[in-house]
Amino acid sequence: MKGFTTPGKPVDVAKVFPELAGLERTTVRLHPWQDAVTVRDSSLGGPLLWPADEAWPVCSVDHPDSRPLTSAEGKRLQQRLAEIGEEMRNCRGSRALGVEFTELETAVRELRRVEFADDPAASLPMVPIAQFYARDVPELPFPDGTDVCQVLWCPTDHEPHYGPRPLVRWRDSASVAEVRAATEPDRDLSDEESLPSPCRIWPERVTEFPHWDDLPSAGLRARIEEWEKGKDWTYDQHLSVAPGSKVGGWINWVQSPDWPDCERGHRMDHLLTVASSEGGGWESWMPLEEQARTTFVKKVEFALVNGVTTSREIGLDEEFDPAGSHYSYYDQAMLAVAPQTVKERVIPGDRRGSGRLDVMLGDVGDVYLFVCAVCPDRPIGVEFQCC
């Protein structure tokens, strides 16, 4: 393999909508592919150049924990949490109560850290997620004197978002003489689907435009929607943000945009997306090399005469037969296919082949890491979103 090539776009969207000029960003698509990797390679899920004299990181923070607090303050907070929970269950909740509930949950979590400092609910070895050498991904904001960026996460749910909890280290590779092997993950307590398979990365730079919900105005969205009518592609799926694991650029939010600020108030940059899927808008994002080895199918969408819409996937050589026996167990007369609604399009078959990272975060979720490139200690933000 010699790398991956994102196909060209069907149209230069910045020419059609001049407001988009200046909003383009370059992302580094990582194109993870399972392969043998060493501590001297950039990788996703591969071994890290971790110094032998530095302990392997473990996490015991924010794991879902229902042990009761025993301090007077802890008891008071728990009592109030229970009262609000009761109000909410009786449908007497309000926005103010919801805010108070979230604040109390945070306070209880903080107190649990103090009260159970010597007895964490569980202590898990963190697992390697990414390692980037500056020679491969020079776009990262390496602090002075460092040339490798390492990302690990604790492979289980964490409050309040129920996703993995990451850790980022920046190092000078020349300072690491003897290397410590990773502590094996705790397979009983880890979420199996948060444990990645080692992948080599194949960095590729592509230009992106803002996610649909990051566009600067509703007026622009309305004009784009009007322009898309009758076309085979959409801004959202094909022309804006690359799907999959990547460094920098715009974010392919699974839900809505949620850009964090650092504690000093700087808007953070997108550092890394670790994605459950490389899919989405395959015509313009699926690498040509992957298209060449993928089996495509025809997805036939249609409506039944009772108004229900549904779809079938059939082989590329097959003909869709509306009179077929798909619904033989229903009343054929009621559920016949309304012929004018039949739409066919070609899509890739199964895309979860052996080439990928093998993580499934919640329901096809993504973990987004952010970094403040202004603060010298490079504070990190994290967001987890899933369907």
Cis peptide before 160 (omega within 30 of 0): yes
Stretch that binds Zn ion, among 34-42, 111-119, 210-218, 366-374 (CB under 5 A): 366-374
Task: Report if residue 262 touches Zn ion, rule: CB under 5 A.
Answer: yes
Nearer to Zn ion by C-beta: 116 or 233?
Answer: 116
Rank residues 53 and 144 by Cβ distance to Zn ion and give the closer one: 144
- How far apart are the C-alpha atoms of 383 and 127, rounded to whole Å? 18
Site for Zn ion in 181-210 (CB under 5 A): none
CA–CA dist 274, 130 (Å, integer) = 9
Cα–Cα distance, 115 to 72 (Å, whole number): 12
**Bridge partners, 201 (sequence order):** none
Return the residue nearest Zn ion (CB atom). 154
Q: In 3-state terms, what secondary structure has residue 383?
A: strand
Cα separation, 288 vs 282, in Å, equals: 10
By CB under 5 A, the count of residues binding Zn ion is 9
Interaction of residue 357 with Zn ion, rule CB under 5 A: no
Q: Is 154 in the site for Zn ion (CB under 5 A)?
A: yes
Candidates 18, 264, 323, 354; binder of Zn ion (CB under 5 A) is 264
Q: Which is nearer to Zn ion, 20 or 272 (CB)?
A: 272
Q: How far is the CB of 314 from Zn ion (least distance, A)?
A: 45
Residues sharing a CB contact under 8 Å with residue 110, sequence separation 6 or more, in sequence order: none
Question: Considering beta carbons, is residue 113 or 135 the nearer one to Zn ion?
Answer: 113
Chain centroid, CA 32 distance in Å: 14
**Closest distance of CB 261 from Zn ion, Å:** 8
Residues 291-320 that bind Zn ion (CB under 5 A): none
Buried b (16+ CB within 10 A) or exposed e, 98-125: eeebeebeeebeebbeebeeeebebebb
Nearer to Zn ion, 48 or 372 (CB): 372
Among the listed residues 11, 69, 111, 374, the single contact to Zn ion using CB under 5 A: 374
Q: Smallest gap, in angstroms, from Cβ of residue 156 to Zn ion?
A: 6
What's the min distance (Å) between Cβ of 234 and Zn ion?
35
**From CA 50, how far away is CA 21, in angstroms rounded?**
42
Long-range contacts at 304-309 (CB < 8 A, ≥ 24 apart):
304/334, 304/335, 304/336, 304/337, 304/338, 305/334, 305/335, 305/336, 305/337, 305/338, 306/334, 306/335, 308/335, 309/341
Rank residues 57 and 93 by Cβ distance to Zn ion and give the closer one. Answer: 57
Q: Minimal CA–CA distance to 10: which of 284, 243, 237?
A: 284
Nearest distance from C-beta of residue 58 to Zn ion, angstroms: 8
For residue 348, count other CB atoms closer than 10 A to its CB: 14
Please identify, among the stretches 292-300, 341-349, 362-370, 374-382, the one whose residues bind Zn ion according to the rule CB under 5 A: 374-382
Asked if 25 is part of the footprint of Zn ion (rule: CB under 5 A), the reply reads no
Residue 215 contacts Zn ion per CB under 5 A = no
For Zn ion, the binding residue among 48, 59, 176, 304 (CB under 5 A) is: 59
126/254 with CB nearer Zn ion? 126
Sheet holding 148-158, edge to edge: 33-34, 199-200, 43-44, 127-133, 148-158, 163-171
Whether 26 and 206 have beta carbons less than 8 Å apart is answered as: yes
The smaller minimum CB distance to Zn ion, of residues 213 and 261, is found at 261
Tell which one of 11, 167, 360, 375 touches Zn ion (CB under 5 A): 375
* Given 372, 378, 380, 383, the residue binding Zn ion (CB under 5 A): 372
Are 368 and 383 a contacting pair, CB within 8 Å?
yes
Question: Judged by CB under 5 A, which stretch of 1-9, 59-67, 168-176, 210-218 contacts Zn ion?
Answer: 59-67
- Rule CB under 5 A: say whether 126 interacts with Zn ion: no
State the residues that interact with Zn ion by CB under 5 A: 59, 154, 165, 262, 264, 266, 372, 374-375
